Chains A and B, each alone.
Chain A
Amino acid sequence: MIKLTYVKKAIITAACITLCIVLPMAFHSIPNAGSIYCPMHIPVLLCGLICGWPFGLLCGLAGPFLSSVFTGMPPVAILPIMMIELATYGIVTGMMMKVVHTQKVYGDLYIGLVIALMTGRIVAGLMRALIFASGEYSIAIWVTTYFITAWPALIIQLAFIPMIVFALEKAQLIPMRYPQSYNERV
């Protein structure tokens, strides 16, 4: 039985931060992938889901920051917004996993993810509107663009993250959320 100790959570967080830097680089050679899929979101969401909110928060702040320092992506100008958005994801997913217990892994993951993705986008959209454009109409535009341009990323995150979680559970790299239901699934 695998147990997530404090050290293990810390190192998993470190790995997720590294993936925030490496995944966008890997996607770099695939045309348009970076802007469509937001590859940096996936490790942050996973980190929050698996390690809890303090680690998710750290990953959400440090991931984009280090990526910006080492690779220049995202550019410094949009870095603060991105950090706020990702940090929100990390915190909310972590908290959701603590609060939501539907007895189904899928249920927990989807509820957590949907709420986190909504909150993160709303927070980031608001911040963006407040910082860059203060007109009343602009807020509405910013929020809508946040959802319209980013819908492929939304779908990808909702589809990929449960897949990755199951793969990690099967490879016995993270503990089962509901060990008793394992046999039913298989």
Chain B
Amino acid sequence: MNTFIGSYIEKKSLVHKLDAFIKLICVFILITAIIMCQSIYSYIVCILFLTIIIHISHIGFFNAMSGVKHMWLFFVMIFLMNCFFFESSYSLWNWGIFHLSYEGMIQGLNVVLRVVFSMIVGNLFVSTTSPLDIVGAIESFIFALRYIGVPIQDVAIILGVSIQFIPMFIEETDMIKKAQIARGARFESKKLLDKAKGIIPLVIPVFLSAFKKADELSIAMEARGYHRTRKKERFHHRHIQMIDISILIIVIVFCIIEMII
């Protein structure tokens, strides 16, 4: 239960110093760019660009690739499915519903590379940004939504409360699990149906305890006078500097280049 994989690596680099909000926008733009990749040249540009970012971020190649290794089966599956099921005018080999084709292989490779690149971008973001900054960035991001009528303050409270709930719920869930194991519950049955039945003693008490906690907290909040908020939200002040803006422009330019080639 204690395995937080959230993988912030504390280093001093340009990527670390970048404003979290700008970085988050860059992540979205980069992923868009990666999805746009079509030709071999676009992939080369992409690899070059990512290599440069990994290099200046000082987090090391292995950290940037973390998680990719664990998903090899997923990649093989995607690749094979695209290889054999892609409908193409000309196939190299046929067997029943399987058609092996060049287009399919390329399509499969495309998909795998896109996922791997997106994962690298994601890893770069989470390993150069502390969880607190990530939450702050998201808050700012959501702030933009206020203009389309989303009650931002309430959303911020909900997110804040849910983050505060995490350690309490982890402990509670752990206790419930242990209590049921002590009563002889078995979670590791081989049969699917038994396995499903086996988790009922875990899932129902976890929800009951979570809703109980929510109930208690909401009563306490109402007693202290929390209501639906209507007042203006304070803007989370960000210190966006020239360097942030220039990086953002570079990323946008990169995205446009990817789209063209």
B114 within 8 A of A: yes
Contact among B81, B131, B222 for A69, CB-based, below 8 A? B131
B60 interfacial contact with A, CB 8 Å: no
Q: Are A62 and B159 in contact (CB under 8 A)?
A: yes
Instruction: Check B122–A160 contact: CB distance below 8 A.
Output: no
A77 to B67, CA, bound (A): 11
Report A6-51 residues with CB < 8 Å from chain B CB.
6-8, 10-19, 21-23, 25-31, 33, 36-37, 42-43, 46
B195 → chain A closest CB, angstroms: 7
Answer whether A62 and B162 are a contact pair too, CB < 8 Å, given A33-B195, A75-B119, A135-B86: yes
Find chain B residues with CB under 8 A from A160 CB.
200, 203
Given contacts A58-B155, A167-B204, contact A10 B6 (CB under 8 A): no
Do residues A66 and B162 form an inter-chain contact, with CB atoms below 8 A?
yes
A129 to B162, CA, bound (A): 33
Q: How many residues of B contact A (CB 8 A)?
A: 74
* B200 CB contacts on chain A under 8 angstroms: 160, 163
User: Which of A105-113, A114-122, A136-144 binds B?
Assistant: A136-144
Question: Judging by beta carbons under 8 Å apart, are B134 and A23 in contact?
Answer: no
B: residues with CB less than 8 A from A are: 1, 3-7, 31, 35, 67, 71, 81-82, 85-87, 103, 107, 110-111, 114-116, 118-119, 121-123, 125-126, 131, 134-135, 138, 154-155, 157-159, 161-163, 165-166, 169-170, 173-174, 177, 187-188, 192, 195-196, 199-200, 202-204, 206-208, 210-215, 217-218, 221-222, 226-228
In the complex, besides A7-B226, A10-B158, A173-B211, 7 extra interface pairs with C-beta distance below 8 angstroms are A7-B227, A11-B215, A58-B155, A71-B4, A132-B111, A156-B196, A167-B207
Question: Can you identify 16 A-B contacts, CB atoms within 8 angstroms?
Answer: A7-B227, A10-B161, A16-B210, A21-B162, A26-B177, A27-B199, A69-B131, A69-B134, A72-B6, A77-B116, A133-B110, A141-B81, A141-B85, A155-B196, A160-B200, A167-B204
